[in-house]
Chain A
Amino acid sequence: DAKTTQPPSMDCAEGRAANLPCNHSTISGNEYVYWYRQIHSQGPQYIIHGLKNNETNEMASLIITEDRKSSTLILPHATLRDTAVYYCIVRRVSGNTGKLIFGQGTTLQVKP
């Protein structure tokens, strides 16, 4: 599975959009981009995933560049409860394993 690079930390003002970048320059055509977050002392929570098209759900939007070498997770209106560690994960489509390889993630601090 491709490796990902994320900034270690970011701040965001409450109510503003939080844009979390992820670099996955070695991604291959059969790999998805997944985002999870982990609020302190809880298990990781699935946010969104995508292959090459932009995706949106009730939690966030995922923007994947045309060359697929990077992506951005967007929380449109960040709240204090969005303070968490955000993990960008690249995973193969094929195969029969659900293994997730977590990096160090980005610690997002939402400030009032």
Chain B
Amino acid sequence: KAGVTQTPRYLIKTRGQQVTLSCSPISGHRSVSWYQQTPGQGLQFLFEYFSETQRNKGNFPGRFSGRQFSNSRSEMNVSTLELGDSALYLCASRSGGGEMVNTEAFFGQGTRLTVV
């Protein structure tokens, strides 16, 4: 079956702009998480959605937001972009929610965002 799909793969934006990234989870997966990866900070958790509800949020400013749709697809938005937002943004989907926390996460290839 198809894996996690993230679009676009690459993006260049200007400081002050906003950006929306998309993630389509594996069919049947209801949990979607987002991560930011930078050379300095490594992989950091942004937020997690299950059944259209945000269940957990990392330590990022309010400029970072997300949502999940009824078909489990998710989007994340970053407003008022800063140079430091340049990163690889990764989406992961899991089959479970609730108590099924031991199901493994499947990651997409990521969206490489460059802010100039």
Contacts and interface: CB of A to CB of B under 8 A. Distances in A.
Interface of A: 32, 34, 41-46, 49, 87, 91-105
Interface of B: 4, 31, 33, 35, 42-45, 48, 50, 55-56, 58, 88, 90, 92, 94, 96-99, 101-110
Contacts of A97: 48, 55-56, 101
A58 B101 CA distance: 22
Contact of B101 (A87, A91, A104): A91
Contacts of B58: 99
A103 B101 contact: no
Given A43-B108, A98-B105, A102-B44, 10 more contacts: A41-B88, A42-B110, A44-B107, A93-B102, A96-B55, A99-B56, A100-B33, A101-B45, A102-B43, A104-B42
Contact of A43 (B96, B101, B102, B107): B107
Contacts of B50: 96
Contacts of A94: 99, 101
B43 A98 contact: no
A99 B48 CA distance: 7
A49 B98 contact: no
Contacts of B104: 34, 46, 49
Contacts of A103: 42
A43 B90 contact: yes
B98 A44 contact: no
A103 B4 CA distance: 23
B14 to A, nearest CB: 24
B99 A43 contact: no
Nearest to B3: A43
Given A96-B99, A96-B101, A100-B45, A43 B31 contact: no
- 3 nearest CB pairs, A to B: A43-B107, A102-B43, A46-B104
Given A98-B33, A100-B45, A42 B101 contact: no
